[in-house]
Homo-oligomer: A and B are copies of this chain.
Amino acid sequence: MEETSGILVDLFVLFAAAKVAGELFLRARQPPLVGEVLVGILIGPHALGLVGSPDGSLIDLFEGKGGEEAAEEALTVVLDVLALLGVIILLFFVGLETRLRDLLDVGGRATLVGVLGIIFPFVLGFALIWTTDPANAEDLEIEAAFVATAMVATSVGITARVLGDIGAIRTRESRIILGAAVVDDILALLLLAVVSGLGEDNIDALELGLTALAAVAFVVFAALVGTRVIQQYSIHLERLQIGNAPFLVAIIVMLGLSALAGFIGLAAIIGAFLAGMILAEAKERFNLEQQALPVYEFLVPFFFVIIGTKVDPGAFTDGTVLAVALGVTALAVVGKLMGGGLASLGMPGRSAAIVGTGMVPRGEVGLVAASIGAGIGAISDDMFSVVVFMSMATTILAPPALVWLYRGYRFEAPEVTKAVEEPGLPEL
């Protein structure tokens, strides 16, 4: 176990940097998450290089098993697992703020936002890459399809954090965004499965159909049956002898549904979100939010700062790469605004703009699509950098826009028991 203690230096640097940056951005009245991502870029291996390099004892572990290269990959895996735990806790908290009946209230609208918010960015992105072919792709259709897919999926964690920071998590627009993000995530992952299949030259329609079926069954089952089980049986948790049993069972459900989501081919965060939504039925009785808050504050910063470390700012010194990156980013924003706006017809203009803007951040979901594409060789290194830029830029642009759109908005009084001082998600 001591061979890994060098990794503690990385964890210390990441956590301390995230918190210092968060504090500075708060003082400058900016969302702390932007500070956390930017400081991640600064300390990451592409800039100062303060994190991400394995030390001697870690390299020794991989002697004869890939050596230094494998040790570096292993360190990345460790940090990715921490980031994954962070984003899982984040989505769990979002779920805790989401009651199923609230979600069903906005279900039709959310589905429409989700579907249109997929179609517009995909078509626009595909058209841009297909008509310009900026990277002289070997297989242009596949590359265009991958970039377009990366432009599709909203990273609801970023939006949820901003909505939480400004106390707007329980507004109607927030519920539509969160509902749409569930639809959006499921559709985007199906799309990714299709495009990956195309990229690997062996698309299997039956397997794809089964994945789709499993996904829908998982969401419906978890939401309907899980909610009922918690409503009826959570009272028995008080009979367990182990300390803080409800909180520990909540963690088990969260890890279990996240693992199950990953197992059936969905993003793990969907399982975490559903776990939170199921447990929202029991959160007041057991004070789950206050219990889980320190775990949130410990792990969530790792997600944002580690996302930052993955960005290579050097790629954009090339003018073409920069131009394509700006074009893809612009279409990614416009596509979501068009989708959200069209789906929100009949709502006040500001609400439609909020819904569209809330769907803009791509965050880690775009990065996942990019890394899968790069992994199977379907997109070039330059297009990888472009997609990363788009993910980061949309993530950085959306928060101030949302704050601006919500200025002067009168929030309903929060009805939750206020263990947490601020309504909604804790600031970080």
Binding site for B on A (CB under 8 A): 1-9, 11-12, 15-16, 19, 22-23, 26-27, 32, 58, 60-62, 65-67, 69-70, 73-74, 77-78, 80-81, 83-85, 87-88, 240-245, 247-248, 251-252, 255-256, 258-259, 262-263, 267-268, 291-295, 297-298, 364, 367-368, 371-372, 375, 421-422, 426-428
Contacts and interface: CB of A to CB of B under 8 A. Distances in A.
Contacts of A61: 73, 77
30 contacts: A1-B84, A1-B87, A1-B367, A1-B371, A2-B268, A3-B371, A4-B81, A4-B84, A8-B84, A8-B258, A8-B259, A9-B262, A16-B256, A23-B245, A27-B241, A65-B73, A66-B66, A66-B70, A70-B74, A74-B74, A74-B77, A74-B78, A77-B78, A243-B422, A243-B426, A243-B428, A244-B293, A244-B426, A247-B294, A251-B298
A1 B364 contact: yes
A62 B300 CA distance: 27
Majority SS at the chain A contact face: helix
B62 A66 contact: yes
A194 B260 CA distance: 48
Contacts of A84: 1, 4-5, 7-8
Nearest to A262: B5
Nearest to A263: B9
Chain copies in the assembled complex: 2
Given A5-B259, A66-B70, 18 more contacts: A1-B84, A1-B364, A2-B262, A2-B368, A8-B88, A8-B255, A9-B262, A9-B263, A12-B259, A26-B241, A26-B242, A73-B74, A77-B77, A244-B294, A244-B297, A247-B297, A251-B298, A294-B295
Contacts of A5: 84, 258-259, 262, 267-268
